[in-house]
A and B are shown apart, each in its own frame.
Chain A
Amino acid sequence: MTTAILETPSQTKPAKQKVMLVEGNEAAALGVALARPDMVAVYPITPQSSLVEHVAKLIADGKMDADIVDAEGEHSVLSVLQGGALAGARTYTATCGPGLAFMFEPYFRTSGMRLPIVMSIVTRDGITPQSVWGGHQDAMTVREVGWVQVYCETVQEVLDTTIMAFKIAEHHDVMLPVNVCLDGNYLSYGTSRVELPDQAEVDAFMGVKDVNWHVALDPLRPMAVDPLTGGSGGKGPSTFVRYRKGQCKGMQNSLRVIEEVHAEWAQRFGRSFAPLVEEYRLEGADYAIMTLGSMTGAAKDAIDEARDAGKKVGLIKIKTFSPFPVDALMKSLDKVQAVGVVDRSVGFRWNCGPMYQETMGVLYRLGRHIPSMSFIGGLAGADITVGHFHRVIEATEKLLSAPAPIEPVWLNEKD
Chain B
Amino acid sequence: MANFGGAYNTIAFDANKCDGCGDCMTACATAKVGVGDTARSRIQIVGSADDGFELALCRQCADPKCVTVCPAAALTKNYASGVIDWNGDKCVDCLLCTVGCAYAGIALDAGTGHVAKCDTCDGAPACVPACPHDALTYVTTSRIYNEVGDWEDLFAPGLAGCQGCNTELLMRHTLRRVGPETVLATPPGCVPGMGSVGFNGTTGTKIPVFHPLLTNTAAMLAGIKRQYKRVGREVNALAIAGDGGASDVGFQSLSGAAERNEQILFMVVDNEGYMNTGMQRSSCTPYGAWTSTTPIGKGSGGMPAQGKTQDAKNLPLIMVNHRCEYVATASTAYMEDLYDKLDRAIQASKRGFAYLHVYSPCTTGWRFPTDQNMEVARKAVETNFVMLWEYNRTDGLRFTRPVDDPLPVTEYLKAMGRFRHLSPDQISHIQAKVVENLAFVKQMAHRQSA
Contacts and interface: CB of A to CB of B under 8 A. Distances in A.
Interface in B202-219: 202-213, 215-216, 218-219
Interface string A206-227: 0000000000111100111111
B231 interface: yes
Contacts of A106: 213, 216
B272 to A, nearest CB: 25
B213 A79 contact: yes
B220 interface: yes
B200 A235 contact: yes
Contacts of A239: 200-201
B206 A87 contact: no
A222 to B, nearest CB: 5
Contacts of B85: none
A37 to B, nearest CB: 11
Given A226-B197, A227-B197, A84 B183 contact: no
B219 A225 contact: no
B252 A76 contact: yes
Given A86-B210, A236-B200, A70 B260 contact: yes
Contact of A218 (B197, B208, B212, B230): B208
Contacts of A226: 197, 210-211
B101 interface: no
B161 interface: no
A216 B227 CA distance: 12
Interface in A211-252: 216-219, 222-229, 234-236, 239
Nearest to A238: B200
Contacts of B201: 227, 229, 235, 239
A83 B227 contact: yes
Given A235-B200, A239-B200, A75 B224 contact: no
B226 A84 contact: yes
B219 A83 contact: yes
A76 B219 contact: yes
Contacts of A73: 252, 256
B181 interface: yes
Contacts of B198: 224, 227-228
A42 to B, nearest CB: 12
A88 B203 contact: no
Given A87-B224, A216-B208, A226-B197, A75 B203 contact: no
Q: Is the interface of B mostly helix, strand, loop or mixed?
A: mixed
B154 to A, nearest CB: 9
A75 B213 CA distance: 11
B408 interface: no
Nearest to B184: A217
A79 B212 contact: yes
A80 B204 contact: no
B211 to A, nearest CB: 5
Nearest to A221: B208
A85 B252 CA distance: 21
Given A86-B210, A217-B210, A72 B253 contact: yes
Nearest to A240: B200
B220 A109 contact: no
Nearest to A236: B200
A85 B215 CA distance: 18
B231 A88 contact: yes
Q: Which residue, of A106, A109, A227, has the highest number of chain B Cβ atoms within 10 A?
A: A227
A254 interface: no
Interface in A70-100: 70-73, 75-77, 79-89, 91
A309 to B, nearest CB: 56
Contacts of B228: 87
A87 B200 contact: no
Nearest to B222: A80
B227 A88 contact: yes
A219 B222 contact: no
A75 B219 contact: yes
B220 A79 contact: yes
Contacts of A222: 180, 205-209
Nearest to A80: B223
Nearest to B196: A224
Contacts of B106: none
A82 B220 contact: yes
A217 B253 contact: no
Contacts of B180: 219, 222
Given A83-B227, A106-B216, A69 B203 contact: no
Interface string A17-52: 000000000000000000000110100000000000
Given A225-B210, A228-B200, A229-B200, A80 B192 contact: no
Contacts of B225: 83
A407 interface: no
Nearest to A235: B200
Contacts of A76: 216, 218-219, 252-253, 256-257
B244 to A, nearest CB: 16
B159 interface: no
Nearest to A229: B200
B223 A227 contact: no
Given A223-B208, A224-B210, A72 B203 contact: no
Interface in A313-354: none
B231 A83 contact: no
A97 to B, nearest CB: 19
Contacts of B213: 79, 105-106, 109
A283 interface: no
Contacts of A86: 210, 220, 223-224
Interface string B271-298: 0000000000000000000000000000
B130 interface: no
A338 to B, nearest CB: 47
A88 to B, nearest CB: 6
B76 interface: no
B253 A83 contact: no
B427 interface: no
Contacts of A236: 199-200
B223 A69 contact: yes
A67 interface: yes
A88 B208 CA distance: 14
A72 B228 CA distance: 22
B211 A225 contact: yes
Contacts of B215: 75, 79, 105
Contacts of A219: 180-183, 207-208, 235
A83 B222 contact: yes
A228 B197 contact: yes
A298 to B, nearest CB: 41
Contacts of B192: 228
B255 interface: yes
A236 B202 CA distance: 11
B259 interface: yes
A77 B231 CA distance: 21
Contacts of A85: 223
A105 B230 contact: no
B188 to A, nearest CB: 10
B133 to A, nearest CB: 49
B221 interface: yes
B251 to A, nearest CB: 11
A81 B225 CA distance: 11
Closest 5 CB pairs of A and B: A83-B223, A72-B256, A224-B203, A79-B216, A79-B219
8 contacts: A67-B227, A80-B219, A83-B221, A86-B220, A89-B230, A219-B180, A235-B200, A239-B200
Interface of B: 180-183, 192, 197-213, 215-216, 218-228, 230-231, 235, 252-253, 255-257, 259-260
Given A79-B213, A217-B224, 12 more contacts: A69-B223, A72-B256, A75-B219, A75-B253, A76-B216, A76-B257, A79-B220, A82-B220, A83-B223, A83-B226, A84-B226, A218-B183
